Amino acid sequence: TILCGHIDAELAGQTIVVAGMVASVHQLFTRDRRPFASVMLEDLDGRIEVMVWPEVYVNTRDLWQEGNILLVEGRVRLRNDRVQLNCEYVHRYQPEAAQQGEPIVAEETTAYTSPVKSRRLIISISQTTNAESDIAYLHKLIDILRGFPGQDEVNLCVTNEEKIINLKLSNIYTNYCPELHQRLVELVGEEGLKMESNG
């Protein structure tokens, strides 16, 4: 697999495989009213626009949801000096570690029983040189957050050698409770967690 941020004009015409998280989805229509999508796929290194044409989109529409981590195979092309990836095959990214783990289920869900002022959870993580490991780590993190649904916003603060990237997980809202705190501490450590009040 190739990191999103490493896809450039030199790869135009080549078929590559990339793993990343769906950051945004814009559904569009061809002239004969067939739906397709322009999807922004990102990993810890950057982002790439993925074009999902009708033949592929009609059978994979459910996969293209914000927050999903996908493995995409496609051909790189240049359009108006912008690099795009034409999707040919796609499926959910399932690292071996995630397949072996037990499903995460919250024992208590109290998020919707009473109105609570929403908060923002900021999770700080570091990018490594191992793309496969980073994607598996991100997958595990999102699985944990989805196991505790609630109203708290989640932001990722990703640090690498060159820059700090702030990502808002726009379709993931969690219920920050002691059990979730403990699960996250095991993954990112106490220093990687910060809570802020929204407004």
Name the residue range of residue 115's domain. Answer: 96-197
pLDDT at 57: 96
Cβ(144)–Cβ(104) under 8 Å? yes
How much is the average pLDDT of 119-129? 84
- Per-residue pLDDT tens digits for 49-76: 999 999 999 999 999 998 888 889 999 8
How many domains is the chain built from? 2
- Per-residue pLDDT tens digits for 138-167: 878 888 888 888 888 888 887 777 667 777
Among 42, 71, 92, identify where a domain stops: 92
34 and 52 housed in the same domain: yes
126 and 165 housed in the same domain: yes
64 and 124 housed in the same domain: no
SS3 132: helix
169 and 102 housed in the same domain: yes
Q: Find the CATH number of the domain harbouring 69.
A: 2.40.50.140
Backbone angles phi, psi at 88, to 5 degrees: -110, -35
101 and 88 housed in the same domain: no
Signed CA dihedral, 153, 96, 164, 180: sign only: positive
pLDDT at 96: 47
How much is the average pLDDT of 101-116? 40
Residue 95 has pLDDT above 60, yes or no: no
131 and 143 housed in the same domain: yes
Residue 104 has pLDDT above 50, yes or no: no
